Amino acid sequence: MMRRTTLGPVSSSQLNARSSALRHPSTRVSVPSKSTAAMERQSIGIASRRVSTAAGTVRRPPIGPRASMNARQSVGANRRNSTYSSRASVSGRGGTRVVDPRPVTDRSFQNSCVQTLVEFLSEHMYDQAIPPALARRGPSKNDFKNMILFLFKQVDPTFEFGPKFEEDVVQQLRDLRYPVSISKTSLAAVGTPHTWPMLLMAMSWLIELLSYDEAIQQANDAEQDAENDEENGDKPFFKYLDASYHVFLAGEDDKFEALEKQEREKLIARNEVVKQETSELEQQREELKRRIEKAKRDKNTLAELNSKKNDCESDLFKFRKLVKDCEKAKIKLEKKLESLVSVQQSCDEELAARQEEIKRLQTRINNQELSAHDIEQIGIERARLTEQLHQAFAQQDELQKRIKNDENRAAEIRDDLDAQIHKYMVTCKQLKMIPMTAKNSFNFDFALELDSSLEELTAVQKLTHHLKTGIRQAAMHLKQNRIARANKGLDTALELDEELQKCENQLNVEIESEKFWESKAKKYAEQMLKEREKRAEVFRRKTTATEEVEKKITQISNGDNLAEEEAMSRQHLLDVRKTSVEMTEGYQALIDKNQRAVTHALMACTNHKEMVDQAILSLETEVNKVEL
């Protein structure tokens, strides 16, 4: 027989050989089928429950000998080797007490266990504060309780301590098959040097157990991820190709259609699943589009909603105000109802008394024997009482009308009183009498207000008493003060008026004096002008005479007797010049004197005018103050 060795084209000789092989089944090549051994791992939780631990890296247990819980057997073909070669079994037989083979008293081993504990708590998000210096001294009872509870919750998330946590800790360690026994007395004093190492070893053993379970869980997750990757990849196709190739090599062509049909059904099923998922995604996409469009439409109505919100808020404020007013009216009506209830009670008591009287009289009537005369008298009495009853009803109606009129008149008086109070308050504000810190209040409260918590008559009486005892006296005191201040102001005004009159008279005198000095200065100026013209004329004449003398000197200088005439002329010239200088100096001194006199007069007038203006201004200011 010739076996197929390829998937390529088959020759005619191979086809002939294939037909002979099919007729002799003994000559066919048998293809061994692949089988996978299903391995099942055991859980470390109570009652074969898998422990769910937090995600994280697997922590390596502390270095040192480790005690085995029980003889754990491997599920596979080969036996699983222990992680530590020095691991020894500490399980005893017959309930004998087992000594922990680990170096419990070794300080370095304790530090390693503490470090492992701290790292495990930190990596698994321990929500309590880790006590410092666990290696030197043990934790407090509360800290140990929180840590051991956190570790137990890693095994069983629903675990909680009962009233006695010592019993719960011992029972939980016993259920987890912890080989070394823990006594309840050691849990009563956790931080002592002889009990803390034993409890630390128990917590370290529990951390090793949890770390092993995390490793197993991660391995299972990795295998599951690998299987999912294989299912989603090309492995199914290669499996189909492998099966087809084996069938082809075996010459079992009748199985091709079944394999193709099976593969087609798988692909169709996968396509249906993909189509269904695609349709679901399309529906979700359409739903998201509708939500987006709806959000865009709703965005345009935001202004309208804001306006509605503002309207609702304003309505809410109005309704709250209305509720407050209604509550105030309710309080008044309740008070009035209480007064009416008291009146009704008195009326009910009177009615009960009258009914008792009627019953008593009716009993007397029923018990006594009546004659015709008595019946006639009773009829007359009944008619008289009926007439009196009608009269009483008429009087009652009249009294009710009067009461109603009185109530209306009282309401009008109340309104008038409110108006008068309002007018009074406005006047007080204008006069600066309210509030108490006002200028004219004199630390007295002039405000008036009817007490709404009291009845109308009581409130009016209280207001009247306050007016008579408090406000009237304060107003009289204010009036007297104002009169005294007005009289004082009038006196001051009269005095200031007299001073003003004196100042005006003095001002007139000063004005006349100023006019006099101005006229005098004007006269001096005119006199100075005339004197200046006169001096100028004299100076002109002297100048002319001097020129004539100079001419004569010039003429004489040409004659015989020049020396004498020149000396005489020079002497005459010197005299003339000296006289001219003296006249000029006198004239200048007179001008300076007149100018100083005029300047002094003008300065005196100006100063006097300023002084008068200041006096007038101060008097006007004082008069304005007095008027205010």
Cα 403 to chain centroid distance, Å, stands at 57
Question: Could you tell me which of 87, 48, 46, 49 has the C-alpha nearest to residue 208?
Answer: 87
Are 90 and 98 within 8 A, CB to CB?
yes
Structural domain boundaries in the chain: 105-222, 251-367, 368-430
- Distance in angstroms (rounded) separating the CA atoms of residues 376 and 577: 167
Say which CATH topology domain 105-222 has.
Actin-binding Protein, T-fimbrin; domain 1 (1.10.418)
What is the DSSP secondary structure assignment for residue 139, as one 8-state letter? Answer: P
Residue type, 243: A
Question: Could you tell me which of 168, 186, 205, 196 has the C-alpha nearest to residue 70?
Answer: 205
Task: Describe the crossing of helices 302-367 and 256-300 by its angle, rounded to 10 degrees.
Answer: 80
What is the DSSP secondary structure assignment for residue 32, as one 8-state letter? Answer: P
Consecutive 10-residue averages of pLDDT for the chain (628 residues): 40 39 36 36 35 37 37 34 35 56 86 89 87 77 88 90 88 89 84 85 91 88 66 70 84 82 86 90 91 77 79 89 90 87 88 89 76 79 89 88 84 80 80 72 70 66 73 77 80 82 83 83 83 83 82 67 69 80 80 80 79 79 66
CA angle 514, 515, 517 (to 5 degrees): 65
Residue type, 493: A
Question: Could you tell me which of 426, 421, 431 has the C-alpha nearest to residue 464?
Answer: 421
CA angle 389, 391, 393 (to 5 degrees): 70
First to last CA, the chain: 144
- Distance in angstroms (rounded) separating the CA atoms of residues 415 and 337: 23
Query: What is the DSSP track for 66-124?
Result: -EESS-PPPSSSSPPPPS-TT-EE---STT------S-TT-HHHHHHHHHHHHHHHHHT
- Distance in angstroms (rounded) separating the CA atoms of residues 426 and 418: 12
Tens digit of pLDDT for each residue in 441-491? 677 776 767 666 666 667 777 777 777 777 777 778 777 877 887 788 788
Question: Could you tell me which of 523, 527, 525, 542 has the C-alpha nearest to residue 584?
Answer: 542
Tell me the average pLDDT of the chain: 75
Buried b (16+ CB within 10 A) or exposed e, 540-559: eeeeeeeeebeeebeebeee
Neighbours of 272 (CB within 10 A): 10
The confidence score (pLDDT) of residue 509 equals 85
Question: Could you tell me which of 220, 207, 218, 216 has the C-alpha nearest to residue 60?
Answer: 207
Neighbours of 336 (CB within 10 A): 12
What is the DSSP secondary structure assignment for residue 34, as one 8-state letter? Answer: P
Rg (CA), the chain: 67
Of how many residues is the chain composed?
Answer: 628
The confidence score (pLDDT) of residue 94 equals 44
- Distance in angstroms (rounded) separating the CA atoms of residues 111 and 104: 11
- Distance in angstroms (rounded) separating the CA atoms of residues 512 and 504: 12
Reply yes or no: is the peptide bond before residue 435 cis, omega within 30 of 0.
Answer: yes
Cα 60 to chain centroid distance, Å, stands at 51
Are 147 and 121 within 8 A, CB to CB?
yes
